[in-house]
Amino acid sequence: MSALYDVAAIGNAIVDVIAPAQDAFLGDNGLTKGSMMLIDEARAHALYARMGAAIEASGGSAGNTVAGVASLGGKAAYMGKVAADGLGKVFAHDMHAIGATYDTPPLSGGPATGRCLINVTPDGQRTMCTFLGASTELTPADVDPRVVEGASIVYLEGYLFDPNEARRAFAKAAGLARASGRRIALTLSDSFVVERHRPALLAFIETEVDLLFANEAELTALFQTDDFQAAVEAVRGRTAIAAVTRGAAGSVIVTPAAEHFVRAAAVDKVVDTTGAGDQYAAGFMFGLARGKSLPDCGALGSMAAAEVISHYGPRPQAPLAELAAGLA
Amino acid sequence: MSALYDVAAIGNAIVDVIAPAQDAFLGDNGLTKGSMMLIDEARAHALYARMGAAIEASGGSAGNTVAGVASLGGKAAYMGKVAADGLGKVFAHDMHAIGATYDTPPLSGGPATGRCLINVTPDGQRTMCTFLGASTELTPADVDPRVVEGASIVYLEGYLFDPNEARRAFAKAAGLARASGRRIALTLSDSFVVERHRPALLAFIETEVDLLFANEAELTALFQTDDFQAAVEAVRGRTAIAAVTRGAAGSVIVTPAAEHFVRAAAVDKVVDTTGAGDQYAAGFMFGLARGKSLPDCGALGSMAAAEVISHYGPRPQAPLAELAAGLA
């Protein structure tokens, strides 16, 4: 069956609140540069009060990836939970505005729409504190079978391994995708997620996942090693394709039979690395859904990542389809 | 008496909703490129639903100017009305985060916080549709005498000539400023504002204003002429200083005795002209409050405008104080 969507993604629906910060601000507020920390609503309010002037922009890892797929000219769908509040409306508007299918009903009477407070230091690194809010209230009922069965690739965000109901939603999506002959992709999302759920993630990868996205820290955490090459050997064969990003060093695509090294695309000035991994996944999956070779998929990923780190904000500003045309 | 603030501004407190748009979108929605149109809440909802994925950022003409003054290292204060809602909290947070004094109590039980829907076409032009909401509920009670009397320059936004109560707030601010020997600055804001209130604006300029900001369209509208030079002659002597911006052609500073021509600062690529006039005013007034010559004030204005048009969003991203150090 041909696919209605190149990518259907399930993730934490989050609005980003992005402000510039000096390095000292991180220390003063007990934040570790480059990390993602989960915080409760009270701490979110207290931290926001101390942050600089901010912009609000729809985010969420898989949401950003969906925006990248759409920007590349692909068809995309998203499933994720917001609240029936102002930020929830912003999130839904932005999904619909890029042409993505997004019909998850908003949550009433629960926590507010999730938000990620992002402090961007002058070196372009982002330090994230996330109040998950409504996003963790995703349940199996929010997984729309027509969307999952209609997608060339079903993309799951590792962050959702935390809440039990969301993990059941993943299992439902994986079962539906498998039965329809669709590919299942997973991003590990964060090395702390990996540490919290290592055995469950490994089991899920081996039984369900066709395409794994990870960065170096996440992959080495998954296999409890400090040796990157050892982690590459460990992942080989557990999944059909593992695409591992290494920042400025590019990415490595690992299959049972081969290893492809892909360069990072050139960037004049790194402004804000928010969303780099999400856009790499967008480019890679768009390429894969359209039948490109693995090195070409990696190059599309590098190109999309380079665009997003050259400006503030987690989603593409330039139409990626035009940049991709320049690669061909 | 020395001043607590370089600039205290009174304006419409607005949150910007900024999205890229194609030229055809403007025609399809009855919008005139480069214009600012006032819309009601129903039309604001309908237009937003058709717009592209957007970022939300605190804006408002005088609010942007205050952000520019703060970015230059100046002390600034703001008076303007938001509602007690999510966008209102965003606006207040951003004011406090830049170090500005902002204590106007939010409106309860009235319209929502004002918002400006900005469609930015590929040529960098912005087309604005503003739902003023709570911002027009500013009253004389919101004008804090300690702030007005403590400011080197009191800056008034022409947009507030529309609501009667706000115009009374202007009169109160002007009276307090005059009695304290403070300078009064006014921006004409928009050629439609000028057309709606020409006689009242002229009278206010002649009796109260020491420093007038206008762009070419606003100045020619004020004097009902198509001839720029005729408008310059007409404004000369009605106010001590008139600073008239002409986009890429730079600006002209008109005093009773002289005319200074100031070049626009170089910009690699114009991304979004939103806020250019606001930042020009910020640079100019910061210079004036710190005792710079008029040509130097104009150069500071040009520099601040150039920074803001080189990226999306109405407020500076780079610290203007560092850029200004490069001018000296």
Laid out side by side, the sheet with B76-79 consists of B101-102, B76-79, B5-10, B151-157, B183-187, B211-215, B241-245, B251-254, B259-262
Tell me whether 0.90 is exceeded by the ipTM: no
Cβ–Cβ < 8 Å for B190, B159: yes
Flag whether pLDDT at A290 surpasses 70: yes
Q: What is the pTM assigned to this prediction?
A: 0.81
Distance CA B66, CA B75 (A): 9
Q: Mean pLDDT over residues A139-159, rounded?
A: 96
Distance CA B319, CA A44 (A): 26
Chain B partners within 8 Å of A82 (Cβ)? none
| pLDDT computed for residue B328 by the predictor | 58
Flag whether pLDDT at B273 surpasses 80: no
CATH class of B5-327: alpha beta
Among all residues of chain B, which has the CA nearest to that of A120?
A: B317
| pLDDT computed for residue A328 by the predictor | 58
Among A78-82, B52-56, B96-100, B259-263, the least confident range: B52-56
pLDDT band at A1 (very low <50, low <70, confident <90, very high): low
Q: How far is B82 from chain A (nearest CA, A)?
A: 15
Among all residues of chain B, which has the CA nearest to that of A96?
A: B53
Among A59-73, A93-107, B111-125, the least confident range: B111-125
Out of B55, B56, B97, whose CB is closest to A51?
B97
CATH topology of domain A5-12+60-86+99-109+136-327: UDP-N-acetylmuramoyl-L-alanine:D-glutamate ligase (3.40.1190)
Chain B partners within 8 Å of A53 (Cβ)? 58, 67, 93-95, 97-98, 315
**Measuring CA to CA, which residue among B133, B101, B103 is closest to residue B116?**
B133
What digits encode the pLDDT tens for the residues A196-221? 999 999 999 999 999 999 999 999 99
Among all residues of chain B, which has the CA nearest to that of A317?
A: B20
**Measuring CA to CA, which residue among A282, A298, A302 is closest to residue A155?**
A282
Across B177-230, the runs of DSSP E, i.e. the strands, are 183-187, 211-215
Distance CA A105, CA A88 (A): 10
Chain A residues within 8 angstroms (CB to CB) of chain B: 19-20, 48-49, 51-58, 67, 85-87, 90, 93-98, 311-313, 315, 317
Geometric angle at alpha carbon A87, from A47 and A278, rounded to 5°:
80
Out of A85, A87, A315, whose CB is closest to B53?
A315
| pLDDT computed for residue A322 by the predictor | 82
What length does chain A have?
Answer: 328
Cβ–Cβ < 8 Å for A183, A153: yes
pLDDT band at B38 (very low <50, low <70, confident <90, very high): confident
Query: Chain-wide mean pLDDT for chain A?
Result: 93
For chain B, state the CA radius of gyration.
18
Q: Beta strand pairing status for B76-79 and B55-58?
A: unpaired
CB contact under 8 A, B55 and A51: no
Flag whether pLDDT at B165 surpasses 70: yes
pLDDT band at B271 (very low <50, low <70, confident <90, very high): confident
Q: How far is B320 from chain A (nearest CA, A)?
A: 14
| pLDDT computed for residue B315 by the predictor | 81
Query: Chain-wide mean pLDDT for chain B?
Result: 93
What digits encode the pLDDT tens for the residues B183-195? 999 999 988 889 9
Residue where the block lists tokens 């928010």: A274
Q: How far is A8 from chain B (nearest CA, A)?
A: 19
Distance CA B114, CA B87 (A): 8
B19, amino acid identity:
A
- Two structure tokens written together for A147: 């969307």
| pLDDT computed for residue B105 by the predictor | 97
| Distances from the Cα of B265 to the Cα of A307, B71, B254, angstroms | 26, 18, 19
Among all residues of chain B, which has the CA nearest to that of A122?
A: B318
Domain ranges across chain B? 5-327
- Two structure tokens written together for B196: 């709606």
CB contact under 8 A, A53 and B313: no
Q: Mean pLDDT over residues B190-203, rounded?
A: 92
DSSP string, A48-104: HHHS-S-EEEE--HHHHHHHHHHHTT--EEEE---BSSHHHHHHHHHHHHTT-EE-P
pLDDT band at A300 (very low <50, low <70, confident <90, very high): very high
Chain A partners within 8 Å of B67 (Cβ)? 53
